[in-house]
Each structure stands twice: as structure tokens, then as C-alpha cells.
Structure 1
Amino acid sequence: MSQERKPERVRDEKINGVIYDMSPAPAYQHSQVIGQIFAKIKNGLKGSMCLVFMENIDYKYSRDNDDYLEPDLIICCDRSAIRGNSYYGTPKFVAEAISPSTVKRDRGIKKDIYESCGVEEYWILSPVERAVEIYYLVDGKYRLQESYVVDDDKESEHYNLGQEITLRAFPITMTLEDIFIY
């Protein structure tokens, strides 16, 4: 008896009608960093109506077509806007971990899409460089609020593993160590 293989979920995004394949899988640091943040947020959202998703929900950002993004992390607070594996509302928070194949889209068109859709907070993480850029939506435009590159040399005057970061819309705080040391 032969067994059929289940089709693997293909990670892709559709932007302006163009499908972008998101394979091969990114470096292991990508999932470690996203997983660390996911755990902190999930714990911090207990008792909330909001849900956090990690790389497994499509964000249907356009009402005019069937385009979608698949954010690395997304906080969805309107549960009625979740249908199947898609979210049709406006996320409160999105984080993207860059890789060589996605850096241009994450810092360019995807950032523009999140901004135009009203996503209040957008993080761009660089797992290999151990860096984070934090953007807040101010008067309809993203403003770089914070930017950190990890310095884990305890003898350095710029040592910053204890640097705290708090999500804008939630009382969820984490340190650079929480994010980048695993």
C-alpha cells in the first residue's frame, strides 16, 4: 500500500498580484528570535482578546484584491476578522525578521503596506546581526522610535543586553537578551 505525502505548506506572499516564494527556510537564528518574542507576547496577552501568531496566518491587507502577506509575528485583536488561516483586520503589531532574500521587501514595500493599513507598531529584526528597528505610526507615517544592535561585551560602555523594550499598545516588556540570546 503506497502512502501519499501530504503537501507541505508553501510559504509565500502575494503583493500587487505577484507571488513571492519565501523558501528556502531562513537561517535558524530567524526562528529562534521570532520564537523568543512570540513566547514573551503570548504570555503577556493572557486574559486578552488579542492573539499572537507566528508565521502561520495570512494578512489579507487589501479589500480590492486577494493579495496577502505572511508576517513573522502579528498581533490580531479583532477575532471576528480571523477567517480560516487569514486575518482581515488591522493588526496592532507586526514584526518581520529579515534575511538576505527578504530584506528589500521587509524594509520597503511591506513596511509601506503596514504603514498604509494603520499597523501601529512595526519591528524589523536582523537575527544574524542581532539588531532591531522599532517603528511607531505617527500621523499616518512610520517614525523610527528605537534602534538597537546588541553589544554583549560586559566591559563595553555600550553593553546593552539589559535594554528593555515595551510594546506600544500592550504592557509587554522584554530585553535585548530575551530576544537575541538563546
Structure 2
Amino acid sequence: METIEPRLTLAEFDALPDNGEWRELLDGRVLVNPSPLTDHQIAAGNLYTLLRAAREPDLPVFFAPFDYRPDDRTSLQPDVLVCRREDLGHRGLQRPPALAVEILSPSTRAQDLLRKRRVYEATGVDAYWIFEPEDAVLTVLELEDGRYVERTFKSDEVFLAQRPFSVRIVPEELLEL
């Protein structure tokens, strides 16, 4: 017999007791994420630092946990995000960030590559970057006519980002201590 997983609204999700777990809500389903691995944290910190140094004043940079809530059954926490200052709300963002970044981990790989990608594309997140620490590969997805166009940068290849602002990213440098 198959069990039906209950689907929550944001209000029900917000009412859950705070037990210290890192939780997200995707299509009404609660996702509990384990603590990130060392390479994940190094890459997220380095990427945050690069983006923060290059940012424009009206485009603040945040790191997880910081909620993007595109509908009443979804609350995602990209590892790093850039948004428009005027879009900030009390509980994070309801409007799409200019950039969402996910650092892949074995436990979240499928949801980052598939489920979150679909949500980000469908809700109009202009740029979505996915970093694979194991192979130092950065996948860059940018909206063109409502669909993501994908480019990949490996190891020492240089990505000169223009969205959401100009910044130089070299995948292998994201793993430097």
C-alpha cells in the first residue's frame, strides 16, 4: 500500500516547530537537507565573496538559508542568490532573484539539477548557476525567451558573467581555501 505524503502550504510550513533542521518546501513537500560537505562550503563562501565584491548597490547578495517563495507551496533556499533590493520582504523573496546558485551535494543533486531548475525557469529566475565541486564544473543557465540556455565552464576556463552584473568566475578557484 502506497502512503500519500501530505502537501503543506507556506503557512503550515512556517508553523512547523524550529528543530534546527535546514528545510525547504517544494510543491508542498518538505525537504530536509543534511549539513553541507567541506567543498560545498568552501565553494559557496568563495562565490559569495566574489559576487559581493562585484555587486551593484541595488543588487544585494545573500547566502543560505534565505528563502525564495514563488508560490504558496514553495520555499527554496539557494546556496547563494542575488536579488533586487526592492524585492526584499520580511521572509525573503516572493519575486524571482536575479541569480540563484546551487552547489551540488550528493544528497541534493537530483533536486538541484531537475526540480529546482524547473521551478527557477518557470518562475523567471534570470540566471541559475550550478556548481559541481567534485569536478570543478560551473553550469550557467540564462533565460532567453522564457527558456534556459545552458553553457558549461570547466576547471580553469573563465566565465565572464554579465548577469546580474559583471564578475569573473574560474570554477577551480571556487575550491581554494
Q: CA deviation at 1:33?
A: 0.4
Amino acid at match of 1:122: Y
Secondary structure (helix, strand or coil) at the match of 1:68 reads: strand
Match 1:125 to one of 131, 137, 142: 131
What TM-score comes out, normalization by structure 1 length?
Answer: 0.81
Which structure: greater helix fraction? 2
Whole-angstrom distance in 1 between the partners of 2:114 and 2:171: 24
Amino acid at match of 2:61: V
Aligned counterpart, 1:173: 168
Structure 1 residue ranges, 4+ long, deviating more than 6 angstroms after superposition: none
Secondary structure (helix, strand or coil) at the match of 2:82 reads: strand
Amino acid at match of 1:116: A
1:67 has 2:74 as partner? yes
Q: CA deviation at 1:49?
A: 1.2
Whole-angstrom distance in 1 between the partners of 2:159 and 2:109: 25
Equivalenced residue count is 160
Contact 1:98 1:106 in 2 (8 A): yes
Whole-angstrom distance in 1 between the partners of 2:110 and 2:159: 27
Whole-angstrom distance in 2 between the partners of 1:8 and 1:80: 31
Counting aligned pairs with the same residue, the percent is 23
Amino acid at match of 2:40: H
1:32 has 2:42 as partner? yes
Higher Cα radius of gyration: 1
What TM-score comes out, normalization by structure 2 length?
Answer: 0.83
Structure 1 regions of 5+ residues with no counterpart?
1-6, 151-160
Q: CA deviation at 1:129?
A: 2.0
Whole-angstrom distance in 2 between the partners of 1:97 and 1:16: 21
1:16 has 2:33 as partner? no
Aligned counterpart, 2:59: 50
1:148 has 2:153 as partner? yes
Contact 2:64 2:79 in 1 (8 A): yes
Structure 2 regions of 5+ residues with no counterpart?
1-17
Contact 1:165 1:174 in 2 (8 A): yes
